[in-house]
A and B are shown apart, each in its own frame.
Chain A
Amino acid sequence: MTSMPRISRRNFIIGTAAVGGGLALGLRLPFGPGVVRAADGSPEINAWVVIRPDDTVVIRVARSEMGQGTITGLAQLVAEELECNWSKVTYEYPTPGQSVKRKRVWGDFSTGGSRGIRMSNEYVRQGGAAARIMLVQAAANQWGVPAAECSAANSVITHRPSGRTVTYGRVAEAAAKLPAPDPKSIKLKDPKSWKLAGQSVKRLDTMDKLTGKQVYGFDLKLPGMLNAAIRDCPVFGGKLKSFNAGKVARMKGVKKVVRVGDSAVAVVADTWWHAKTALDALPVVWDEGPNAKVSSASIAAVLKAGLDAEQAFVGNQAGNANAAIASAPSKIEAVYSYPFQNHACMEPMNATARYTPDKCEVWVPTQDGEASFAALLAASGLPADKCEVYKINLGGGFGRRGAFQDYVTQAVQIAKQMPGTPVKLLWSREEDMLHGHYHPIMQCKLTGAFDASNNLTALHVRLSGQSILAAVRPHIVEKDKGRDPLVFQGLATSGEHAFGYTFPNLLIDHAMRNTHVPPGFWRGVNINQNAIFMECFMDELADAAGQDPLEFRRRFMAKHPRNLGVLNAVAERIGWSKPAPKGVYRGLAHMKAFNSYVAAAAEISVQDRGKVKIHRIVAATDPGYAVNPAQIERQIAGSFVYGLSALFQQECTVKNGRIVEENFDTYNSMRIAQMPKVECIVMPTGGTVWGGIGEPTICVAAPAVLNAFFRATNRRIRTIPLKNHGIELV
């Protein structure tokens, strides 16, 4: 084990003490041959499982917990195979630096794209199974019996012929010295025989969230720590020209005013309030650049031109849609649009950094510890073995804290100017609103053609707007000859975002129109707008054909049985075949996203033309496998809060090159009074592929409600958010 990482005891103590213990794990040099130890000296059976002498099982979770329940779900999967006592399970995060040193033994840290459980289920279950095999072997060795005569349950190993037993804690030390079994020899349980996975066990991380004890990124305290408030040029792409530090140098608590990169300035002070107060008083001159001329109207005009542009990237096609539309006896056309939106995590962006030429450390609430680590390496200029990231709990993520690590870069840039002093950078809400990576802006023109008997013969979906990947992962776009494949989520030919219909003539294409406003992965990503465009237009097509929206959809879904399964489930539960209560109107929508199939049916009523009351929403999801149904239901109910807030209330508009909405007074979010009753149908149908949970359902919230709104009012709303139409959720 000479390849073991050399992480000093001192660094580990600082790391864990800072976050209240248990969150960052440290590794000591091995005590005995072949044994890797956790911080408290307990033996590591393998990278996923540490067992303490008192039988406590520590399960390592590389993905980040931001409320979605991934810690509990992944621990359930490890524990299922480990056959341990669930009441003695706890968890910890490995650090990205350790993972790098151990050849990425924990795999991917990225916690976006609803992939926390679905993309790591297999290797974490194998980790649990491998640890169980080693523990059983250790007991068998101790007893001098064949391992095949022993079995494990509830953290106890039993030698069946003799009835002898031993607990995991007693053999952990010996098990840790055994070689790991060949992964190919490990047979995982059939999910049908699961006892713990698949159950709605309680979350492992609730208690500290009730008492104020849970430490989030911006709660962090380090000895000698200072606080920083920052202002980046409000115009994206603009630069910092100058600032007059002398004006604020004598303000209370101020320690230093620093340039951050080429576009931002920060005040470092004893407290954050002092830093912010001084920053507000700091005279700053910006070089706003040419983007200062851009407005929402100028962006909309660029996108509008794309709706009829000749050049476009094809995402999905069948037959010859253009020819079929040109020769059709009748057709309908509609244009929809979706705005920029901010993630608006409850906890604004923050990171804490300490820099010396020998070591740079960052404490950060992150959805991707490795992305934070990469940002730290780049900003510090130090090699990987001199850097470390400690993940702290997130006050919301929603895609803002994964691919984008701008706050880490800034924190390191500030800390480098004050070597040895830990500096906590916290963005104000206003800074957070003005410097997002926004939900991409998109317009869409849909054209449907009918034959003389009112049969739909062709559909053209023309998207025009922003590409996230062109901004964030340009190499993917380059490899695809300029096309962004992600823009077709929910409309794609195949894969985890496959289209849920088959039409004889189909063309779905994208005129890429990028803006200076940086786009990002916003919970659900491109399915949000695509579900509105497609599922609302399906209702428009059904009306044009004089058919019931459900019946009309079903005609094109014969080859999409799992889409149909969830759609039928919500239709049945909402009572689609029977009339709605008087004054109540229904709408529905479905989509495949992140390898899950989701559908929603809404019942609403509308007063005074625009006061919408949602009485009930039924939501179905088929994720293949359901690890913790109670947590899935919470994610689904919460998806309606995120999705309906976006539908009714949220838009980031652009004026003079910058975002106008700076806080929750102009960028509102749903409250409990507006929360509809959500009934969840969790209906996993197995298969070889696991689907995600955190994101898919968001996209069906808006079209289900918009379709019901049309039934109620005969008004077809095609631009989001509804507040711009005088429509509010009550």
Chain B
Amino acid sequence: MVKLTINGKSHQIDVESSTPLLWVIREQVGLTGTKYGCGIAQCGACTVHIDGKAVRSCALPVSAAAGKRITTIEGLAAGGVLHKVQKAWLDHEVPQCGYCQAGMIMAVAALLAEKPRPTDADINAGITNICRCGTFQQVREAIHAAAKA
């Protein structure tokens, strides 16, 4: 049994402690916004927040997240109001296929929490998610827009 707090809600989950957090979020909790892309923490599609920090959940055993505050893409818009990153993503029409964007948005939200006015160099160092559609030009524009919002 693992106790998880996800998007403010607690869950008691009967799962092996070595199961990656990603699959517990998707298969036991049923929140499918967080994506699988590689399983080895390379691509960032599975990015969630743990105690406010961006973490790649595909290679993190669920036991490491027990008792911590987990936020997924479904919990980013507090009270149904889009987070400023989501709003900037909408205004700048960032997503193409959109599959990687949940992870991208979570990574950017965590970056902005730490660095409210990131430089291009901060973005380059902090955002290392893969996007195969190639939305990076819009991602960068939208990060700067969100920082100003």
Contact = CB atoms under 8 A, between A and B. Distances in A.
A69 B136 CA distance: 17
Contacts of B23: 271-273
Contacts of A109: none
A672 B36 contact: no
Interface stretch (A322-330, A391-399, A579-587): A391-399
A68 interface: yes
Interface string B89-119: 1100101111111100100000000000000
Contacts of A273: 19-20, 23, 27
Nearest to B34: A212
A67 B96 contact: yes
A691 B99 CA distance: 27
Contacts of B125: 673
A218 B36 contact: yes
Given A67-B98, A630-B93, A395 B35 contact: yes
A100 interface: no
Nearest to A346: B99
Contacts of B52: none
A671 to B, nearest CB: 5
B62 to A, nearest CB: 10
**Most chain-A Cβ atoms within 10 A of its Cβ — which of B39, B90, B105, B137?**
B137
A508 B24 CA distance: 56
A493 interface: no
Interface in B124-149: 124-125, 127-140
A397 B16 CA distance: 34
A640 B42 contact: no
B40 interface: yes
Contacts of A664: 37-38, 40, 42-43, 130
B97 A66 contact: yes
Interface in B44-98: 45, 72-74, 76-77, 82, 86, 89-90, 93, 95-98
Interface in A191-217: 202-203, 205-216
A627 interface: no
Contacts of B42: 663-665
Nearest to A675: B136
Interface stretch (A403-411, A631-639, A713-721): A631-639
A68 B33 CA distance: 21
A68 B96 contact: yes
Interface residues of B, number: 56
Contact of B129 (A215, A634, A671, A678): A671
B32 A671 contact: no
B2 interface: no
B32 to A, nearest CB: 4
B105 A210 contact: yes
Contact of B132 (A214, A252, A642, A675): A642
Contacts of A634: 93, 96, 135, 137-138
A160 interface: no
B133 A396 contact: yes
A212 B74 contact: yes
B134 A639 contact: yes
Given A210-B90, A212-B32, A671-B129, A67 B95 contact: yes
A213 B124 CA distance: 28
B32 A219 contact: yes
A663 B40 contact: yes
Nearest to A635: B96
Contact of B37 (A206, A219, A429, A642): A429
A524 to B, nearest CB: 13
B30 interface: yes
B74 A672 contact: no
B133 A348 contact: no
A396 B33 contact: no
**Most chain-B Cβ atoms within 10 A of its Cβ — which of A206, A213, A345, A630?**
A206
A344 B37 CA distance: 10
Interface string A270-300: 0111000000000000000000000000000
Contacts of A665: 40, 42
Given A346-B132, A396-B132, A209 B32 contact: no
Nearest to A730: B124
Given A273-B23, A641-B133, A641-B134, A663 B38 contact: yes
B137 A677 contact: yes
Contacts of A678: 137
Nearest to B42: A664
**Most chain-B Cβ atoms within 10 A of its Cβ — which of A206, A211, A428, A663?**
A211
B101 A671 contact: no
A397 B125 CA distance: 28
A346 B74 contact: no
A396 B97 contact: yes
Nearest to B18: A277
Interface in A258-277: 271-273
B86 A394 contact: no
A641 B27 contact: no
Contacts of A429: 36-40
Nearest to B74: A212
Given A210-B105, A641-B131, A675 B27 contact: no
A213 B130 contact: no
Given A210-B89, A211-B77, A673-B125, A395 B134 contact: no
A639 B135 CA distance: 10
A669 interface: yes
A696 B110 CA distance: 36
Contacts of B127: 671-672
A347 interface: yes
A66 B125 CA distance: 29
A560 interface: no
Contacts of A670: 130, 134, 136
A672 B45 contact: no
A221 interface: yes
B73 to A, nearest CB: 4
**Most chain-A Cβ atoms within 10 A of its Cβ — which of B28, B100, B133, B139?**
B133
Contact of B135 (A66, A69, A394, A638): A638
B39 A428 contact: yes
A323 to B, nearest CB: 46
Contacts of B123: 672-673
Nearest to B72: A212
B26 to A, nearest CB: 8
B82 A210 contact: yes
B97 A346 contact: yes
Contact of A209 (B27, B45, B95, B128): B95
A641 B97 CA distance: 14
Interface in A369-423: 393-398
Nearest to A398: B132
Given A347-B35, A677-B137, A678-B137, A395 B128 contact: no
11 contacts: A67-B95, A69-B96, A205-B98, A208-B98, A210-B82, A211-B76, A218-B36, A346-B130, A428-B39, A672-B140, A673-B128
Given A395-B99, A671-B127, 4 more contacts: A206-B90, A429-B39, A640-B134, A670-B136
Interface of A: 66-69, 202-203, 205-216, 218-219, 221, 227, 252, 271-273, 344-348, 393-398, 426, 428-429, 630, 634-635, 637-642, 663-665, 669-673, 675, 677-678
Interface of B: 16, 19-20, 23, 27-28, 30-40, 42-43, 45, 72-74, 76-77, 82, 86, 89-90, 93, 95-102, 105, 123-125, 127-140
5 nearest interchain CB pairs? Answer: A212-B33, A641-B134, A395-B99, A67-B96, A638-B134
